[in-house]
Structure 1
Amino acid sequence: MRYRLRHTTRYEYSSAVTLSHNEARLKVRELPWQHGEHAAFDIEPTATRLHERHDFFGNHVLYFAIQDVHDAMAVTATSEVVTDATQLPQFNYTQSWEHAVQQLRSTALQHSPDTYEARLFTMNSNYIKRSRDLAAFARRSFTPHRPLTEALLDLNARIFHEFTYDPEFSSLATPITEVMASKRGVCQDFAHLAIGALRSIGLAARYVSGYLETDPPPGQTKLIGADASHAWLSVWIPDAGWMDIDPTNGGVLTERYLTLGWGRDYADVPPLKGVMSGGGNHSLHVEVDVLPI
């Protein structure tokens, strides 16, 4: 599939901003099944400094500074993205989930590049802390000697069926324990919940930021700006790589998913973040379009 991707973020401030420094993670990653073309950024007011780099996790980062006095800022990232379903990783892993935990803990494998990277995603992070309650939640799916991929799909389905998508319920400050108790949240909450549960039983899981092509209601035309950023997770499968699951929709990675980047949790891959001098209060408006072309 070929998509035209457009992501616009607008801030309006209650008082003047005299200086701002910002980082944008809005360029898709190059992956075997995903290729980005014609990427461009439009920044208003015009940025006086621009610098591109890759962060610790390999995500593309655009740094920019605005030194003119302003009371609003808009950042638009556009690109074309080609996805290929035939290149998506396939998983037919029959080993138990306990075997994967043993692989991660094995001192004999600690210098393996893949295992070494995966071990990073077993530890606590800013928004995700391992706990007994999360381990108990995971073990409803991860029963003794159950195949790893089978248990993952069961956990994925449980969150999809047992939890309610509610954009009014949570914020970045809402802890996983509250999401689990209330059984409500949004995609980043469900990704954090699943990651926390998996890490609490010794597995490696990372947070993935991106987009998902959505369909309009039956009989209606798709509205411009109606899409949104999305979040899901990847789980390390020994000798096979990373398996993506999406508990918000109860499915796995398809060609309709566009991957921006990944990290330990949301704090590592926010689409846009920054610091500024002045500004007072602000309002935020985001528009996303994922259009097949």
Structure 2
Amino acid sequence: MGIREVSIVHSTHYKFDRRVAAGPHMIRLQPSQNSHAQILDYRMEITPKSFHAREQVGVFGNAITRLVFLEKIDFLSIIVSFKARLMAFNPFDFFLELHAEHFPFKYEKTQEESLGMYLHIYDQSEVQNWLSQQSLPSNGKTLDFVIGINKLVFNQFDYLLRFEHGVQSPSETIINNSGSCRDFTWLCINIFRAKGIAARFVSGYLVDLNFDDESKDMLVFHAWVEVFLPGAGWVGLDPTSGLLVSEAYIPLCSVPHFKDAAPIIGNTEECKVEMSYESSVVRHF
């Protein structure tokens, strides 16, 4: 498809029932450097203006904007806008190290030590029990095994557009036989880890362009998986679609645990709050 350029706007608004003191807020809405999209003219507009902002790099290498408010506020508005050049790439354009071409494989000692947090399993017994009942890819090739696990989650579970906060545990998704993108991602991560493959949680934007009807173009806040394969590095997979990640995925945050991937986190005095958000994508080709 070559290069496609789009403009993206993502707005989040909080309205409080009175003026309240607000603690520090951490914002993770800046596209990652490992995005396959070229990011242009990135801007973040925050109101009200009574704050100090500091750009930071978090412990997992993600860009964070830290806000410290100087006075009480009765609303908070965060508007992110940028242009993205979506440059088509071949997701299979990599070579695995010889020792990792066939599954199972072992990481070299230094890699295994560095990847420790990405190998920790949650709900291990439930995940292992579910795996024991599945027909897993068995031709011995690591890439086929990884793709097969991704497709297995896609095929076995029903997708739900879930508006509740939080992420289901792997056992909840297995019991419910359904979940949202973030639930599938967390389950898939723990399946990979149960099989000795380091995996991490990625949150970001999915640019969904409808080439039959431009009015149906969408910008979706999404979650997907990345696995670490020796020789290839971090490889993205989307268990919600059963496919490998393409140039349409723009990562914002990559972490071992979903709790560290929230796009906006902070606190205020106790109050009532109304939250709303909008997103849009406009193509330039």
Report the TM-score when normalising by structure 2: 0.86
- 1:285 aligned residue: 276
| Equivalent residue runs for 1:30-69 within 5 Å | 30-31=33-34, 33-69=36-72
Give 1:216 shift.
5.0
SS of aligned partner of 1:111: helix
Q: For residue 174 of structure 1, what is the aligned residue in structure 2? A: 168
Residue 103 of structure 2 corresponds to residue 97 of structure 1: yes
Aligned residues: 277
Is 1:244 matched with 2:250? no
Match of 1:253 in 2: 245
Kindly indicate whether the alpha-carbon contact (under 8 Å) linking 1:29 and 1:259 is maintained by their aligned counterparts in 2: yes
**Partners in 2 of 1:154 and 1:256 — Cα distance?**
22
Q: Match for residue 7 of structure 1?
A: 10
Give yes or no for contact 1:211–1:228 (8 Å, CA) kept in 2: yes
Q: CA offsets per residue over residues 182-214 of structure 1, 9 Å max, x none?
A: 121111111000001111222100011111111
- Report what 1:133 is aligned to: 126
**Structure-2 change in CA distance of 1:89 and 1:3 (3 Å):** farther
The CA distance in 1 between the partners of 2:208 and 2:141, in whole Å, is 32
- Say whether 1:160 aligns with 2:163: no
For 1:148 and 1:136, the matched residues in 2 are separated by 22
Flag the 1:290–1:183 CA change in 2: closer, same or farther, 3 A.
farther
Whole-angstrom distance in 2 between the partners of 1:14 and 1:217: 43
- 1:169 and 1:7 mapped to 2: Cα distance? 18
Partners of 1:20 and 1:66 within 8 A in 2: yes
In 2: Cα distance, 1:169 partner to 1:74 partner: 21
Matched, 1:276 2:268: yes
In 2, the alpha carbon distance for the partners of 1:117 and 1:89 equals 25
| Alignment partners' CA distance in 2, 1:43 and 1:243 | 33
After superposition, the Cα gap between the structure-2 partners of 1:62 and 1:47, relative to the gap in structure 1 and judged at 3 Å, is farther
After TM superposition, the score normalised by the length of structure 1 is: 0.84
Matched, 1:121 2:127: no
Q: What SS does the corresponding residue of 1:132 show, helix, strand or coil? A: helix
Provide the C-alpha distance between the structure 1 equivalents of 2:5 and 2:114, rounded to a whole number of angstroms.
31
Q: What letter is aligned with 1:150?
A: D
How far residue 82 of structure 1 moved from its aligned partner, in angstroms, is 2.5
CA contact (8 A) 1:232 1:246 kept: yes
Shift of 1:4: 1.7
Q: Which residue in the other structure is 1:85 paired with?
A: 88
Residues 78-106 of structure 1: CA deviation (Å, up to 9, x unaligned): 1222332247562455723211xx22xxx
> Quick one: percent identity of the two aligned structures?
21
Give the distance between the partners of 2:90 and 2:34, measured in 1 at CA: 9
In 2, the alpha carbon distance for the partners of 1:276 and 1:169 equals 22
Whether the aligned pair in 1 keeps the contact of 2:8 and 2:282 (CA below 8 Å) is yes
